[in-house]
Amino acid sequence: LSQDKLEALFDRFMNGSSIFNDREVLRHDFIPENLPHRENEILKLGAILAPALRGAKCSNVFIYGKTGTGKTAVTKYVLNRLSKTSDRISKCLRICYINCRVAGTEYRVLSKMCASVNISIPFTGLATAEVFSRLRCGIDASNQLFIAVLDEVDKLVKDYGDEVLYELTRANEELKRGRVSILGISNDLYFKELLDPRVLSSLSEEEIVFKPYAADQIRDILSQRVKVAFHKEAISEAVINLCAALAAAEHGDARRALDLIRVAGEVAERKGAKRVLEEHVREAQKKIEYDRVYDVLSSLPLHSKILLCALYDYEKISNQGVTTGDLYEIYHKLCNMIGAEALTHRRVSGLLAELDMLGIVNANIANLGRYGRTKKIRLTVPQKILQNTYSEDPRMVELLGYCPKIVK
Ligand SMILES: Nc1ncnc2c1ncn2[C@@H]1O[C@H](COP(=O)(O)OP(=O)(O)OP(=O)(O)O)[C@@H](O)[C@H]1O
Ligand SMILES: [Mg+2]
């Protein structure tokens, strides 16, 4: 018996988990040492960025693809390797990675860029143009190539417009020694439409599209992570395959698959099981879906919540789907009950369209013979989740108990 095995045995005893070996590797921000099925994307990005090693400006790149397809992981992986090589040979490169959603405001994005070229700016107060002029000074003083990596850049542009991108794309015209390249990442395929055509054409000098993963690709990604994350005896091929299949059926989202297997492990652990079973995966799937719907429902604005309560009340007495007119009547009643001013028909139709997009309700055109055509609206999320979520909201409880009288 080797020393290591005994050590491992003790460790396991101390940590107390018979399921997990190292949960950390299932975290969203963990970057594994290799990324299966992304070799082409890695090499393509590497080829675009390689001129940076000589300090030459490389093409701007725009990376897009659906959520969980490895955009952030691949980008960080390539940038890590690039900066290691650069530090070894040339030091003519400065990389500034910013997640725009995490940074939150345009000003924070700007101040992070400044900080990375050793320029500190006050917490608030400077105009964008002034910040940019200081940033340019910093980049010039560094005499390096500055790569601005803007992850989830759609969040920045949606809230603040494309001024930062515009200034970055133009910066090279005014720089004397330093240079700027931009790497933008987005999972919003319509994001491009928000950009000024000049900004767009400059940002997407090169484009890399990340496709959703297929089930067998997700299986490989999971297998690799699972080897470290779980004890060997605690996990089986069948469980990995099931997680891969469920995640692939949805959007080919690797993050979703990793969540699924982690939550399945937690379910197994809570039940005191020695190994993860397929039933634990099914339960994990339900739990994740429940949490997702819960989050969406509880973050809706007040009138969308009232509208959903109205729909819920209707569905207690009929599962035929409700017409917009009848739903509006119930909604109006509920508004009176809690002293809220009802919105117009028009606004309510708008809210319904949003709920439809979020996948919470489904509105089908139904033919009502001589009465013409109308929409029939149904809840698409389980009534139970809606009831649980809104029971926690004191304003809503009363509304859930209302019994509508309009059944024609
Ligand atoms: N090829 C891969 N090999 C190993 N792990 C991967 C691979 N692709 C994605 N992952 C893992 O899946 C998760 C999601 O990947 P990542 O964060 O890169 O997605 P993304 O495309 O940036 O999604 P979003 O658009 O939501 O930001 C991460 O934990 C990442 O480590
Ligand atoms: Mg990402």
235 alpha carbon to ligand 1 midpoint, in Å?
22
Please enumerate in sequence order all residues whose Cβ is within 8 A of that of 214, keeping only pairs 6 or more positions apart, or say none. 248, 252
For 314-351, b/e burial (b = at least 16 CB within 10 A) is bbeeeeebbbbebbbbbbbbbbeeeeeebbeeeebeeb
193 alpha carbon to ligand 2 midpoint, in Å?
20
Query: What is the pLDDT at residue 17?
Result: 79
Query: What is the pLDDT at residue 198?
Result: 92
**In the chain, what percentage of residues exceed pLDDT 70?**
95
Q: What is the pTM of this model?
A: 0.83
Query: What is the pLDDT at residue 290?
Result: 93
Please enumerate in sequence order all residues whose Cβ is within 8 A of that of 256, keeping only pairs 6 or more positions apart, or say none. 68, 247, 250, 288
Query: What is the pLDDT at residue 89?
Result: 81
Mutate to test the pocket of ligand 1, among 78, 255, 260, 262 (most ligand atoms within 8 A of CB): 255
Which ligand 1 atom sits closest to the C-alpha of 28?
29
Query: For tokens 């089930």, what's the residue?
Result: 215
SS3 99: strand
255 alpha carbon to ligand 1 midpoint, in Å?
6
Strand partners, 180: 146
pLDDT at 77 over 90: yes
Q: Which ligand is nearest to the CA of 228?
A: 1
pLDDT at 128 over 90: no
Query: What is the pLDDT at residue 69?
Result: 96
pLDDT at 8 over 80: no
Q: Mean pLDDT throughout 112-127? A: 90
Query: What is the pLDDT at residue 369?
Result: 66
Query: What is the pLDDT at residue 233?
Result: 93
Assign 270 a pLDDT band (cuts: 50, 70, 90): confident
The overall average pLDDT reported for the chain is 91
Which ligand 1 atom sits closest to the C-alpha of 35?
3
Both tokens of residue 283? Answer: 């339960």
Both tokens of residue 80? Answer: 């890590």
| C-alpha distance from residue 103 to each of 112, 157, 186 (Å) | 9, 13, 15
Q: Which of 23-32, 65-74, 225-234, 360-369 has the lowest mean pLDDT?
A: 360-369
Query: What is the pLDDT at residue 407?
Result: 53
Q: What separation, in Å, do the N-terminal and C-terminal C-alpha atoms of the chain show?
A: 78
Query: What is the pLDDT at residue 9?
Result: 67
Query: Residue 262, by phi and psi: left (phi above 0), alpha (psi -120 to 50) or beta?
Result: alpha
pLDDT at 288 over 60: yes
pLDDT at 408 over 60: no
pLDDT at 16 over 80: no
Q: Mean pLDDT throughout 79-99? A: 91
- Note whether 261 and 269 are within 8 A (CB): no
Q: DSSP letters of 12-79?
A: HHHH--SSBS-GGGGSTT---S--TT-HHHHHHHHHHHGGGGGTPPPPPEEEEESTTSSHHHHHHHHH
Query: What is the pLDDT at residue 405?
Result: 82
* Residue nearest atom 29 in ligand 1 by C-alpha distance: 28
Mutate to test the pocket of ligand 1, among 29, 34, 69 (most ligand atoms within 8 A of CB): 69
pLDDT at 255 over 70: yes
